[in-house]
């Protein structure tokens, strides 16, 4: 069996070589010639999966180590009889942690209390719903918007978009769709932006195409508001004017914890095992077990909000990733594009909350329960 795989999928050669020959390729460079005689294709979001790539090939199984599928022509795969798998929810915890880190940074910079804000969450799937739970743990009021889930009577209660536009913070967690009853491409457009309350914070960690960047850039020329962008409309060629204007801009790494990436590898590995009628023996826990955790000590007298900020930002401070991407403003366009991909390719090991132990001054510290519900390990000193 021949398996063509994106070389940036963690442990892909080690994990999938038990099934056959694994040919490693750069995701953006995978082309029809390379997959013509492959049986299995393993990709990430940078590879377009469609008839142009796969027509006439021997591929019978395609898997994407991603939660989103906007890069995949699912209808074509179904018509061609090609089995498809992906990893929904694999990066949910990682994105939640990214959003919390970003908002604690902005709260400090702009001198507001996160608990005093109303957060509007657009898209309440695996990421949005988990983020809502995290905000509930922090005592932050949330408004939820998800028309498809509302129509299906799943979850809720849901708010209309107009109510969401009155929120202090709006964070986007929708798939990128260009058709259907509720398309999300350019959901954030000129009209959307004109309805934002003054000073509202907008966060996008979903897909770049959810935001009309031309409208956003024009809006920012007229009025400034805090903006957090992890995704961009034309990656890896990103809007330099927009990058210069955002409060936090990062290279599509919100979901890039090692835990999330290994979770994705495991999910598509299990699906291939089912496809091949085999039982798999690999587990991501084996790879994570030997990695050191992080320890954070919070002294007595620190109030709850300050302690939460300290724990979250000691675990992961988004400003390091933002500073790295900001350096591309000093490069010419082609070099900046290569640099964007290189930041993702060489991304340092980042873990999730359960890998960090927060040591508190007393077992009955009110922080203990909150940190535990967020996923941290909690100890006393």
Task: Provide the phi-psi class of 30: left if phi over 0, else alpha when psi is between -120 and 50, else beta.
Answer: beta
Options 71, 173, 252, 261, the catalytic residue: 252
User: Encoding tokens for residue 35?
Assistant: 């997959």
Q: Is 241 a catalytic residue?
A: no
Give yes or no for a contact between 146 and 163, defined as CB atoms under 8 angstroms apart.
no
Options 25, 44, 186, 207, the catalytic residue: 207
Q: Is 381 a catalytic residue?
A: no
Give me the helices (H) in 186-225, please.
190-194, 213-222
Give yes or no for a contact between 62 and 43, defined as CB atoms under 8 angstroms apart.
yes
Q: Is 235 a catalytic residue?
A: yes
Q: Which of 230, 117, 120 is nearest to 170 (CA)?
A: 120
Options 233, 235, 309, 352, the catalytic residue: 235
Angle in degrees, CA 13, 17, 18, rounded to 5: 145
Q: Which of 116, 278, 305, 286 is nearest to 201 (CA)?
A: 116
- What distance in Å separates the CA atoms of residue 381 and residue 277, rounded to the nearest whole number? 50
DSSP 126-177: HHHHHHHHHHHHHT-EEEEE-HHHHHTT-S-----HHHHTTSSEEEE-----
Find tokens 């826990």 and name the residue. 285
Active site residues: 207, 235, 252
């Amino acid at each position: 069996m021949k398996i063509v795989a994106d070389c940036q999928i963690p442990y892909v050669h080690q994990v999938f070589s038990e099934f056959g020959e694994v040919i490693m390729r750069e995701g953006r460079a995978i082309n029809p010639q390379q997959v013509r005689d492959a049986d299995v294709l393993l990709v990430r979001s940078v590879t377009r999966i469609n008839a142009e790539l796969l027509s006439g090939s021997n591929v019978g199984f395609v898997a994407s180590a991603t939660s989103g599928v906007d890069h995949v022509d699912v209808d074509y795969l179904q018509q061609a009889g090609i089995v498809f798998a992906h990893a929904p929810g694999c990066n949910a915890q990682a994105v939640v942690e990214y959003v919390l880190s970003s908002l604690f940074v902005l709260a400090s910079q702009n001198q507001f209390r996160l608990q005093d804000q109303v957060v509007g969450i657009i898209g309440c799937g695996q990421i949005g719903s988990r983020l809502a739970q995290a905000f509930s743990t922090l005592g932050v009021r949330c408004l939820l918007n998800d028309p498809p889930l509302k129509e299906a009577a799943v979850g809720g209660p849901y708010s209309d978009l107009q109510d969401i536009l009155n929120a202090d913070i709006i964070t986007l967690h929708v798939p990128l769709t260009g058709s259907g009853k509720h398309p999300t491409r350019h959901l954030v457009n000129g009209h959307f932006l004109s309805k934002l309350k003054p000073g509202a914070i907008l966060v996008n960690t979903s897909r770049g195409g959810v935001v009309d960047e031309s409208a956003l850039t024009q809006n920012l020329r007229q009025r400034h508001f805090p903006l957090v962008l992890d995704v961009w409309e034309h990656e890896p060629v990103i809007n330099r004017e927009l990058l210069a204007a955002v409060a936090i801009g990062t290279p599509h790494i919100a979901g890039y914890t090692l835990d999330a990436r290994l979770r994705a590898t495991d999910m598509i590995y299990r699906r291939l095992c089912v496809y091949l009628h085999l039982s798999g023996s690999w587990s991501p826990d084996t790879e994570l077990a030997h990695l050191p955790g992080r320890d954070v000590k919070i002294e007595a007298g620190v109030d709850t909000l300050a302690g939460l900020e300290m724990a979250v930002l000691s675990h992961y401070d988004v400003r390091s990733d933002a500073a790295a991407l900001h350096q591309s403003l000093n490069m010419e366009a082609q070099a900046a594009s290569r640099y964007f991909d290189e930041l993702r390719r060489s991304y340092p090991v980042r873990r999730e909350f359960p890998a960090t132990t927060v040591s508190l001054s007393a077992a009955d510290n009110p922080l203990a329960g909150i940190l535990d519900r967020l996923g941290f390990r909690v100890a006393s000193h």
